[in-house]
Structure 1
Amino acid sequence: MNTIHVGVCGWGDHYDLYTHGVRNRDKLSVYASHFPIVEVDSSFYAILPQSNYETWVRETPQGFGFIVKPYQALTGHQRGDAPTDRRELFRQFEESIQPLVEAGKLKMLLFQFPPWFDCTREHVQYIRACRQIMEAYPLAVEFRHQSWFEPRYREKTLELLQTIGAIHVLCDEPQAGKGCVPIVEAVTHSAQALVRFHGRNVSGWRDPGEGQNWRDVRYLYRYSKEELVEWLPRIQRIAAEAEEVCILFNNNSGGDAVGNAKQFMRMLGIDPTGLNPRQLELF
């Protein structure tokens, strides 16, 4: 079996990892004593200064890997008029991540497209353009609109990703209409695969409720042991095809991501090495 890494999305809100009094600026260093990979979400909301990435490089061990989500204007999350100069935004984003690239810590770029990004000729061409602009980096594609995996398009979608050298993201998420995708067990890049666990909160996915922050509700879910067991043979098959499999838990609205990630690591028999030294508890 090839290499399997498990981590979670972000590192700031996983309070069960941090002892009382851990400063925000120390959280990544502590996180990196538990997991070998992490997803960077803050890059989705703004093109970050290089100094952020330089700090993160210093705070993590040599073999640590970052999965970075590009700025939201590059994945179509900003409804309305498209940015007038998207190529300039791509240039700025690419420039910002160079500290990770130079340190060998950029695991991949995660292009997660929005629920309204459906399977059309225009969107296919845009994915090709993203791959061409970011051809120097591993690039993963996550769909949120079901049309990409309808029977008439499923194989063509996977063929597209394979042809352009993109990584297909396998998702575990609620089956709640067009704005979600089924589990599609397929590897489109022999070097890497990415699996993301979003939880199975069907009602919260469809309707977070009036006055509720949709992120707080959508990802409020704890996987049972039985649900994780379902994934063990899938991961084994994926790892037989891809040299490296990265697994991320995103079900953190209730603080469940870390617990499920560690549980899944034990089930897979994974004990990562090369982490930051673990802090000693006072008692």
Structure 2
Amino acid sequence: MIYIGLAGWGDHHLGESGRGKLTTYTGHFPIVELDSSFYAIQPERNMRKWNEETPEGFKFVVKAYQGMTGHLRGGQPFANDGQMFKDFVSSIQPLLETGKLLAVLFQYPPWFECSKENVENLREAKERMESISTKGNGKEISLALEFRHQSWFEGDMRERTLSFMKQEGWIHSICDEPQAGMGSVPIVLESTHTDAVIVRFHGRNVSGWTQKGRDNWREVRYLYRYSTEELMEWKERLELLQKQVKDVFVIFNNNSGGDAAGNAKQLMAMLGIDYEGLAPRQLDLF
């Protein structure tokens, strides 16, 4: 099955029904990417609230906290890395307990290049997550991996990286993103897990992608609307991926101009998808 959703639920124009933005969102899509967990480990009460606001069968992709993926600049707000991982795993327990946690997404930065040291960093991160979850309620936490440095897929490293991900049990997060040199990765259309693969649409705004450091870079980085032709290409790719894996999860992250929801609905129509089990909705703007 192909499941389509968006990154976040607060910035999309989906119509308001007086029930709260997340509840409104769940009337349109069966999956969402939780980004706030990247900027700060969320209190468990937030996760419990979001769990209660979503229907049975709804899924969350939760982004790993930035300190867990090498993005954090400045001081470490935790006593040590072990405590940081422990607090993160504790925070997501409500979603894990109800089966609504699809995966924790480890998205590494553009400077995280392919090296022996970083391969060991990946192993260590996965071992920490597995060790902590085993000490808890014993429920397995699925982990997804996304690179932002081209060296992981250059030449013969492509097959070696994919083989490593398969051996280690990582879900592949495939990217559609601007091709802007070493700080971006190509579309690598291969699943590394039998149960799931994630596809994230970041847009193809090359100039916005490379403007980091400017005051408005967050506003323009994901400013892009996919054309009908581009989505048709992805329809074919997703159908190919479906033959490799049980479920394909698609996240539209081209949010800067408000294009994510429209593109997601367009792709759903192309695929002939009409999800069952969504929350009731009073108004459909699409």
TM range (shorter): over 0.9
TM-score (norm 2): 0.92
Kindly provide the CA deviation profile for residues 178-231 of structure 1, in whole angstroms up to 9, marking residues without a partner as x.
11000001110010000000000011111268432x121110000000011111
Corresponding position: 1:248 with 2:216: no
Corresponding position: 1:17 with 2:7: no
Q: Does the 8 A contact of 2:147 with 2:185 survive in 1? A: yes
Given candidates 123, 147, 151, the residue that maps to 2:151 is 147
CA RMSD in angstroms, aligned pairs only: 1.6
Which residue of the partner structure matches residue 32 of structure 2?
Answer: 38
Given candidates 118, 122, 130, the residue that maps to 1:123 is 118
Which residue of the partner structure matches residue 58 of structure 2?
Answer: 64
State the SS of the aligned residue for 1:171: strand
Corresponding position: 1:97 with 2:100: no
CA distance in 1, matches of 2:214, 2:93: 41
Which residue of the partner structure matches residue 211 of structure 1?
Answer: 215
How much identity, in percent, do the aligned residues show? 56
Q: Alpha carbons of 1:209 and 1:165: their partners in 2 closer, same or farther (altered >3 Å)?
A: closer
Corresponding position: 1:177 with 2:181: yes
Q: Which amino acid aligns with 1:130?
A: A
Cα deviation for residue 279 of structure 1 reads 2.2
Runs (4 or more) in structure 1 with deviation over 4 Å come to: 80-84
Matches within 5 A, 1:161-172: 161-172=165-176
Kindly provide the CA deviation profile for residues 107-162 of structure 1, in whole angstroms up to 9, marking residues without a partner as x.
11110001111111111011111222223311100000111011131111111100
Q: Which amino acid aligns with 1:85?
A: N
Which residue of the partner structure matches residue 187 of structure 1?
Answer: 191
Given candidates 197, 200, 205, the residue that maps to 2:201 is 197
Q: Which amino acid aligns with 2:42?
A: L
Structure 1 alignment gaps of length 5 or more: none
Q: Does the 8 A contact of 2:15 with 2:283 survive in 1? A: no
State the SS of the aligned residue for 1:144: coil
Which residue of the partner structure matches residue 110 of structure 1?
Answer: 105
Cα deviation for residue 81 of structure 1 reads 6.8
Q: Does the 8 A contact of 2:31 with 2:59 survive in 1? A: yes
Q: Alpha carbons of 1:210 and 1:50: their partners in 2 closer, same or farther (altered >3 Å)?
A: closer
Structure 2 alignment gaps of length 5 or more: 131-139
Cα deviation for residue 232 of structure 1 reads 1.6
Q: Which amino acid aligns with 1:266?
A: A
Cα deviation for residue 84 of structure 1 reads 6.0
CA distance in 2, matches of 1:210, 1:46: 23
Cα deviation for residue 280 of structure 1 reads 4.7
Q: Does the 8 A contact of 2:107 with 2:145 survive in 1? A: yes
